Copies of this chain bind each other. A is one copy, B any other.
Amino acid sequence: MDKSSPRQVEIVKYLKSLRDTICKRFEGMEQSGERFQREDWLYAKGSGGGEMSVLRAKTFEKAAVNWSGISGDQFPMKDGQGAFFASGVSLITHMSNPKAPTVHFNIRYIETEESCWFGGGYDLTPMGFEFEEDTKHFHAVAKATLDCHGAELYPKFSQQAKEYFFIKHYNKERGVGGIFFDHFHSGDFEKDFSMWKSVGDSFLDTILPIYEKRIDLPFSEEDRKLQLARRAHYVEFNLLYDRGTKFGFESGGNPKAILCSMPPLAAW
Contact = CB atoms under 8 A, between A and B. Distances in A.
Contacts of A260: 268
Contacts of A9: none
A3 interface: no
Contacts of A258: 169
Given A249-B169, A255-B170, A232 B268 contact: no
Task: Quickly give the copy total for this chain.
Answer: 2
A236 B261 CA distance: 13
A248 to B, nearest CB: 9
Contact of A236 (B169, B228, B232, B239): B239
B255 A249 contact: no
Given A169-B255, A249-B240, A259-B236, A264 B267 contact: yes
A170 B268 CA distance: 23
Nearest to A263: B268
A168 interface: yes
Nearest to A239: B239
A176 interface: no
Interface string A232-268: 1001100110000000010000010011101111111
A235 B240 contact: no
Contacts of A249: 168-169, 240
Contact of A239 (B62, B240, B265): B240
A30 B139 CA distance: 50
Interface in A38-84: 62
Contacts of A268: 62, 259-260, 262-266
Nearest to A255: B169
Contacts of A235: 235, 239, 266
A228 B249 CA distance: 22
A224 to B, nearest CB: 12
Interface of A: 62, 168-170, 228, 232, 235-236, 239-240, 249, 255, 258-260, 262-268
25 contacts: A62-B268, A168-B249, A169-B249, A169-B255, A169-B258, A170-B255, A232-B262, A235-B235, A235-B266, A236-B239, A236-B259, A239-B239, A239-B240, A240-B249, A259-B268, A260-B268, A262-B268, A263-B268, A264-B268, A265-B265, A265-B266, A265-B267, A265-B268, A266-B266, A266-B267
